Amino acid sequence: MRNKRTLTLAALSIGALALSACGSAGGTAGTTASDSAEENLATTINVAISQAPTGFNGNTAATNSVYNGYISNLTTSGFAAFTAAGELEANPDFGTYEKVSDDPLTIKYTIDDDAVWSDGVPIDYDDVLLSWAAMSGTHPSGEKDAETGAESDLFLASSTNGFAQTEMIEGEPGDKEFELVFSEPYADWEALLTGDLIMPAHIAAEQGGMSADSDGAELVEAIQAKDTAALTPVAEFWNSGWDYEVDLPKLPDTALLPSSGPYKLDNATNGTLTLVKNDKYWGEERAGKTDTIVFKTIVDEEAVQALQNGDVDVIDPSSPSVDTKTALEQIGETVTVDTGTSMTFSHIDLDQRPGAVFEDVKVRQAFNACTPRADMVDKFVTPIDPEGTVMNLREYQPGQPDYDTVLDGAPAAQGDGVADIEGAKKLLEEAGKTEPVKVSLMYASTSQLRADMVALVKDSCDKAGFEIIPQPEAEWSAKLSQPGAWDAVVFGWSGSGLVASGQSIYVSDGEQNFGGYADEEVDRLWTEIATTTEADKVPALKTELEQRLAETQYNVVLYANADIIGSSSKLEGVEMNPTQTGITWNAYSWTKQN
């Protein structure tokens, strides 16, 4: 077994802090094979993923997952993409962009003249305008949320970060050039029109009862006029019309799924999804090198055996354990292994709405105190990544240079993670709790690691005055946004390294603020952070943010997940990417020797 460890460093991209990874498994994207080797390349590469993809459009609150992202890395294109170093890199295949003004912040974009969807329809203004409409939160539905009283938007976007600060994109049907004008600065402006954010407007228009003729003129007119009646069926399709059936038994009609990337969707059966080269792809730098890439849904516990058997060529387990590492080490020289720390971190979110179990901050603090975070690190992280440690911040991870500086300035966030049973008991007493506090703790039923984590929490917190009730759920992610469906939930956020990507998780009424947390000071700080384009000002602002999130006990943050990539030694080009982009960030360049 060839074994390499990915080192974690840090880098600054434009307006963003990003985690960078150095090192590779089985070569790099720049590896040049000999002529004889090229003649002996396999036509198919098989990739294991831990959960089946759930939708073609990964931009809704229900479909915003890394597993959909693994596919869209290959089937969609945008003006920029994340590298393995966690930095944004321009994608000249798709087009070009440049900042033309700072006041107001204005970016000029030009889509490549040859850019088309895989069904031959040009990629142009209507596609970009639909993305803006869907992600900006500027098309109210007229209906109010029963819980918050806030008016909902027609489009159920996973986040409106960034787009909410922009003006409507001006243009005409068929335009390949346009400008994005910001009403106020936005730290992560460069990341707004990347990858799967641009969906095929002609499909949404047709499925919403509109004509797609004349370069989408009817849809363009409806968006520009904010015609709620006309846009409602379009938004309904955008929200759920591209969703897949549970466990992906088959694909919808592939005519509804045109690609803008080097690969396109071909077929699916029983959780196995097949991509083939997009014969309409116009680019050169990101053109696919292998004819077919197949994604196979395989639970983490079976992934190593699938790799050893040759059923798959690369695995990237979502929750690797020490057993994963041991099993890979026993395979031998036919496998290359890369280990390191990912930008995904595990945490426990808490329902703190009025009347909920964790409404009282002292109850939240008691739960944090009894959670055996250090024990979790010892059992689940350091056997894989010896540098693993308890994570005390939410916006920075151990290993990033600013982590220690920010933590030093946020005393409320400091701690060794050792369970404090007596301290938890005292906090529950102060909260007036005289009976055990029942907590239904939800987790993915397919993950043995999550089950083991919940068992540790129960063993510890039951001693402190809680009664932890394990709640395994196969469709746990679908329940996240359902108030009352859980009291606490353990899962992971997959980070990007951007400045403002976490905003919707923490602000009041944020699209990904599933526990109903609300704090005016946190809202104020996020507004300032998101509009800061000077990277050197970010750490001080986020220090204040981390202090406030810890004081109010937003959630229980656990640790940065260890990461293991296992791949066939015949596979070239695989390189770990610690960001949410994942292992397939450069899969278009992978090749496999027969």
User: 496: pLDDT confidence band, cut at 50, 70 and 90?
Assistant: low
Contacts with 430 (C-beta within 8 Å, 6 or more apart), sequence order = 362
Residue (of 307, 295, 349) closest to 331 by Cα position: 307
The 10s digit of each residue's pLDDT in 40-75 is: 999 999 999 999 999 999 999 889 888 899 999 999
Distances (CA, A) of 328 to 304, 349, 574, 577, 591: 6, 32, 17, 20, 22
For the chain, what is the mean pLDDT? 90
The 10s digit of each residue's pLDDT in 210-269 is: 999 999 999 999 999 999 999 999 999 999 999 999 999 999 999 999 999 999 999 999
Provide the 8-state DSSP code for 87: -
pLDDT confidence of residue 4: 36
Highest average pLDDT, of 34-48, 78-92, 461-475, comes from: 461-475
pLDDT confidence of residue 5: 31
pLDDT confidence of residue 488: 98
pLDDT confidence of residue 15: 24
Q: Where in the chain is the domain with CATH 3.10.105.10?
A: 344-561
The 10s digit of each residue's pLDDT in 102-154 is: 999 999 999 999 999 999 999 999 999 999 999 999 999 988 776 667 788 99
Instruction: Look at domain 344-561 and name its CATH class.
Output: alpha beta
Share of the chain above pLDDT 90, in %: 74
CA trace torsion 545, 546, 548, 550 (10° rounding): 160
Q: Are strands 466-473 and 437-444 parallel, antiparallel or unpaired?
A: parallel
- Residues 529-557 have a mean pLDDT of 95
Q: Where in the chain is the domain with CATH 3.90.76.10?
A: 81-239
Q: Are strands 2-5 and 335-350 parallel, antiparallel or unpaired?
A: parallel
Provide the 8-state DSSP code for 283: -
Residue (of 284, 286, 261) closest to 275 by Cα position: 261
d(CA 567, CA 479): 34
Please give the structure tokens belonging to residue 170: 């001006």
d(CA 411, CA 283): 51
Provide the 8-state DSSP code for 243: B
Q: What is the architecture, at CATH level 2, of domain 81-239?
A: Alpha-Beta Complex (3.90)
